[in-house]
């Protein structure tokens, strides 16, 4: 049996109040991915876009979250940013490249992600996906 995935659970206020409001305002990147059990679309605000060398990545600051597990299962999703929705294929990055990207993410996002890294300090605890737009 696999151990329980390591992730930082969102509190009630963040999950039920803040995220739905932030997701509708349009100034944050929103991931839309099919639920792995229901198949219904799930919209998750992820904050500011993160790019390195002109390539967009999704970094799971909170670890093995529900959106990570859904994206792994689906292999694709949509990103909404500033009222533009883009379908994409997700490619999970592992090993030293993932570690480099997580370190860059942490540096760029600053204090906004410090709480995640206090609870999950290992770089390997933060999955990373490269976003490959589908034309």
Q: pLDDT tens across 103-113, in order?
A: 999 999 888 88
pLDDT of residue 49: 83
Q: Which residues partner with 132 through β-bridges?
A: 89
Quick one: 58 exposed, middle or buried, by C-beta within 10 A (0-12, 13-18, 19+)?
buried
d(CA 93, CA 86): 20
What band does 24 get if pLDDT is binned at 50, 70 and 90?
Answer: low
CB 28 within 8 A of CB 48: yes
pLDDT of residue 7: 59
Residues 6+ apart with CB under 8 A from 4: none
Residue 58 has pLDDT above 90, yes or no: yes
Look at 49 and 18; give whichever has higher pLDDT: 49
Pair type for strands 76-81 and 84-93: antiparallel
Arithmetic mean of pLDDT over the chain: 84
Domains and CATH numbers, the chain: 12-133 (2.30.110.10)
Region class of 58: left (phi > 0), else alpha (psi between -120 and 50), else beta: beta
Which of 80, 69, 67, 68 has its CA nearest to residue 22?
Answer: 80
């Amino acid at each position: 049996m696999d151990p329980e995935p390591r992730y930082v659970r969102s509190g009630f206020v963040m999950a039920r109040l803040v995220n739905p409001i932030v997701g509708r305002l349009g100034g944050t990147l929103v991931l839309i991915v099919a639920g792995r059990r229901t198949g219904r679309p799930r919209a998750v605000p992820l904050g500011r876009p993160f790019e390195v060398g002109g390539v967009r990545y999704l970094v799971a600051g909170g670890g093995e979250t529900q959106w990570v597990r859904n994206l792994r299962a689906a292999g694709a999703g949509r990103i909404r940013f500033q009222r533009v929705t883009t379908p994409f294929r997700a490619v999970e990055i592992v090993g030293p490249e993932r570690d480099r990207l997580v370190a860059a993410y942490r540096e760029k996002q600053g204090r906004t992600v410090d709480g995640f890294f206090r609870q999950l300090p290992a770089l390997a605890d933060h999955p990373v996906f490269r976003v490959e737009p589908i034309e």
